Amino acid sequence: MSWKTETVPGTDGLVCSIDRLASEAGTAVLRAGGNAVDAAIATSAALAVTAPHMCGLGGDLFALVGGPGTGSAEPLVLNSSGRAGSGADPDRMRAEGHRTMPLVADVRSAPVPGCVDGWVTLHGRLGRLPLADVLAPAVELAEAGFPTSPLLAAALPRLAGVTGCDELVRSGVAEGDLLLRPGPARMLRAVAAEGRDGFYGGEFGERLLEVGAGEYLPEDLARSQAEWVDGLALDVWGHRVWTVPPNSQGYLGLAGAGIAERLGLPADPDDGAWAHATVEAARLAGFDRPQRLFDGADGAALIAAGRLDERAAMFDPERPARLGDRYRAGGTIYLCATDADGMGVSLIQSNAKGFGCHVAVPGTGVLLHNRGLGFSLEDGHPAEYRPGRRPPHTLAPALVTRPDGSLRAVLGTMGGDSQTQVLLQMLARLLVAGQDPGTLLSAPRWVLAVDEGTGFNVWERPDTHRVRIEEHAPASWRAGLEQRGHEVETAGRDLVGFGHAHLIELPLDGPARGAADPRALVGACSAG
């Protein structure tokens, strides 16, 4: 099957997300006088209600904000990913026989959630409307109910046996059924009334300490997880592309684009050589990620010109690069929003894998993420699971500016390790092929895969990659890749494996234009 989405113009602002109801929540806030930040928070909060299989108040958040109204010549970058609690003990994990962090059923894979701190911090610096007004659409969805989306209905059976999820796992929830979320509604009202203290210092915080059983201490919750950081940027294809620095893996998207620029991409993305070059650019950028990405890693060094030159020199136009001797052995939503003044927000919010670690905070309706799966249990590893550390993160939102500093686009995707691979393809289609948002997001994609993949272990064995391509990819992709020695798999109907990406572009000669990913089925780009 092929995907098709239309480019939507929007003079008074646009909001793109995986859920029409959430996009409409954002545009309602725009029409009420809010700015792009207000709209992004409103959309994010609505998704925490309608898409608990992908994000929620128990997850993390990153954001970039650019354009007029920021008070800054450069984009503002917020890292609101949570830190491991004071009880984090890697020796105990190893003594229990763990070699990697547990994926589910273990609260130790849940750092302190950063999502709510992200909302409050973004709003406190850049919001225009009262926070209660911004969160009101999400509260209404939670209290009045909303029709269960196809992807949520398909995912809900995975919560069978998980305690504390009664509002989600009542029998007979099917696509289109009305679903109410009283727990998140109560949590959102507490945030609206008291800010972060209403959440981390209120019912949620009290119950989190209980379910953590020593993993967290009150001082862990008293410390904000949100932090303004310097953006990481690379000049590529006549523009500057921005992302969040480590602990985000965003540097891989920049490095992949820098390598691809050095290789020289064919003008036509349907060319098999284009597929080979972009696949190899991603592989050459990311093969040593397990050793290089950790909280505090030097992002600028990871995208330095000399390093990218060396990676590009490893490219072979006729076969995949051999990487084995060069290294040692989702549930996420992306959204973007703009307003009539030209401010743009690129925001990503995540549980990590599906419903997170399958641990609910009792009585709140909030499931905890499992972003701690990014930690290492190798003794002495720079990303070792330790108190106060942030885990390596797959979340990688992006923002593009022109040479004069004006905002060109906000873009990103969900997709675990594949996020930066999809981002590379989006950047190449936007900045090299000149495609409009609808064409770009309807186009076929490739992602790297490994056997027994979790979506978060692609870089553990970089010489065993398969290239998965969507079934509507041109025949030249498969032929060109196989001729060059890649193992290629044509995927069937896959609603999540190739990302849910969105993009809003701000042309110099016309209104903003955007599109939402059709793979989300109920996604929408909504005009303010």
User: Distances from the Cα of 282 to the Cαs of 150, 278, 422, in angstroms?
Assistant: 32, 6, 10
Q: What's the rounded Cα separation, in Å, for the pair 121 and 126?
A: 9
Beta strand 446-449 pairing with 407-413:
unpaired
pLDDT of residue 1: 64
| Spatial separation of the C-alpha atoms in residues 232 and 252, rounded to whole Å | 11
Phi, psi of 446, deg, nearest 5: -120, 155
User: What SS3 string covers 49-89?
Assistant: HHCCCCCCCCCEEEEEEECCCCCCCCCEEEEECCCCCCCCC
For tokens 């409103």, the residue is 42
Q: Which residues on neighbouring strands pair with residue 512, listed in sequence order? A: 10
d(CA 246, CA 418): 17
**Helix intervals (H) in 393-494:** 419-431, 437-442, 475-483
Instruction: Dig out the tokens for 200 from the structure.
Output: 């981390």
Runs of H (alpha helix) within 381-504: 419-431, 437-442, 475-483
- Cα of first residue to Cα of last residue in the chain, in angstroms, is 31
CB 518 within 8 A of CB 438: no
CA distance 273 to 428: 14
Nearest by Cα to 44 from 5, 83, 9, 15 = 15
Hey, what domains does the chain have and what are their CATH numbers?
Answer: 13-228+332-374 (no CATH), 240-329+406-520 (3.60.20)
Q: How many CB atoms lie within 10 A of CB 349?
A: 33
- What is the distance between the alpha carbons of residues 449 and 461, in angstroms, rounded to a whole number? 10
The residue written with tokens 């898409």 in the block is 51
User: What is the number of helices (H) and of strands (E) in the chain?
Assistant: 19, 21
Which pLDDT value is given to residue 3?
Answer: 86
From first to last of the 528 residues of the chain, give the pLDDT tens digit. Answer: 678 999 999 999 999 999 999 999 999 999 999 999 999 999 999 999 999 999 999 999 999 999 999 999 999 999 999 999 999 999 999 999 999 999 899 999 999 999 999 999 999 999 999 999 999 999 999 999 999 999 999 899 888 888 888 888 765 688 999 999 999 999 999 999 999 999 999 999 999 999 999 999 999 999 999 999 999 999 999 999 999 999 999 999 999 999 999 999 999 999 999 999 999 999 999 999 999 999 999 999 999 999 999 999 999 999 999 886 433 335 788 999 999 999 999 999 988 878 999 999 999 999 999 999 999 999 999 999 999 999 999 899 999 999 999 999 999 999 888 999 999 999 999 999 999 999 999 999 999 998 877 767 888 888 889 999 999 999 999 999 999 999 999 998 888 899 999 999 999 999 999 999 999 999 999 998
515: three-class secondary structure by DSSP: strand
Q: Is the pTM of this model over 0.85?
A: yes
The CA distance from 77 to 88, in Å, is: 28
C-alpha to C-alpha distance for 281 and 165, rounded to whole angstroms: 42
DSSP assignment of 17-36, as one string?
ES-HHHHHHHHHHHHTT--H
Give backbone dihedrals phi and psi of 409, rounded to 5 degrees, phi first.
-165, 155
Residue with tokens 């305690």: 163
Task: Let me know: does 491 contact 1? Beta carbons within 8 Å.
Answer: no
